[in-house]
Amino acid sequence: MGFFLRLILTGLGWSFGGPLGGIIGYAIGSLFSGGVRVIRSGVTDTFGNTEEKRDFNVTLLVLSAAVMKADGNVKRSELDYVKRFFLQNFGQERAENYIKMLREILQKEYNIYEVSQQVGHYMDYSTRLQLLHYLFGIADSDGVISSEELGVINTISDYMGISNSDFLSVKAMFIKETDSAYKILGIAPSATDDEVKRAYREMAKKNHPDLVSNLGDEVRQAAEKKFQEINAAYETIKKQRGL
């Protein structure tokens, strides 16, 4: 019975459809056939109370799995990082359901190119930037971002439709270099003072925490941290230039 339920849910997918919906549907079918308790209104209430939060969360799981498997070794620190996010957002029971879903997804092979393209089609740009920030956080949870993890994140970013300058901006928040402040603002050290100011305004606008506040407190807190990194980069450059 569990096998047929899994096939049905794979066909129905989540709210997405497409390859992403198939992955999530298969994972949900596995969980239900394995005895996950469904509370009040079924799948919706078991995994989240709004469609936007649910979409973000399950997308995070699928992309997280790709990053976690990149170097062939899923680490406890990575699982803890993801669990902490869901625990702070949804409480113990829902967090456990999400982690069980993640374990199912980790066992499944899927086309990361198609999944990332689908995310790029249905998620707004600010949400995609926040997803990218989380993926770097997962890779960095053990203190080292491997070349394999960086390569997978770069691929996901590219197929999600994130610009190279924005990818380098988020990367510079985790991998510090001498010109990290400029990379965070998406400009070169040769930029004029006016270009620095303009770049800061543009970066602050598309990374403002209010743009993802609908995704929950934990997402907003992470967005605020990212926003602080942008402000700190701007202050560093201003201090260097005496602005």
- Token output for 49: 């109370």
Distance CA 23, CA 6 (A): 11
- Dihedral angle sign, alpha carbons of residues 209, 69, 146, 187: negative
Considering only residues 38 and 74, tell me which one the structure prediction assigns the higher pLDDT.
74
Distance CA 7, CA 30 (A): 9
3-state percent breakdown (helix, strand, coil) of the chain, nearest 5: 75, 0, 25
pTM above 0.85, yes or no: no
- The pLDDT score that the predictor gives to residue 238 is 93
40 SS3 class: coil
If you ran DSSP here, which 8-state letter would residue 142 be given? G
Lowest mean pLDDT across 35-49, 81-95, 180-194: 35-49
Longest dimension (CA), the chain: 70
What average pLDDT score do residues 20-34 get?
A: 65
Distances (CA, A) of 23 to 6, 18, 109: 11, 9, 9
Q: What percent of the chain has pLDDT over 70?
A: 77
Q: How many CA atoms lie within 13 A of 28 on its CB side?
A: 24
Confidence band (pLDDT; 50, 70, 90) for 190? very high
Confidence band (pLDDT; 50, 70, 90) for 39? very low
Judge whether 199 and 186 are in contact, CB under 8 Å.
yes
For residue 45, pLDDT over 50 is answered with no
For residue 43, pLDDT over 70 is answered with no
Considering only residues 168 and 222, tell me which one the structure prediction assigns the higher pLDDT.
168
Q: CB within 8 A of 49, min separation 6: which ones?
A: none
What average pLDDT score do residues 38-45 get?
A: 42
Q: CB within 8 A of 182, min separation 6: which ones?
A: 188, 189, 191, 233, 237
If you ran DSSP here, which 8-state letter would residue 177 be given? -
What average pLDDT score do residues 2-20 get?
A: 46
The mean pLDDT value of the chain amounts to 80
Run of H or E residues at 10: helix 2-12
For residue 61, pLDDT over 50 is answered with yes
For residue 56, pLDDT over 90 is answered with no
CB atoms near residue 120 (< 10 Å): 17
Q: CB within 8 A of 111, min separation 6: which ones?
A: 19
Judge whether 101 and 28 are in contact, CB under 8 Å.
yes
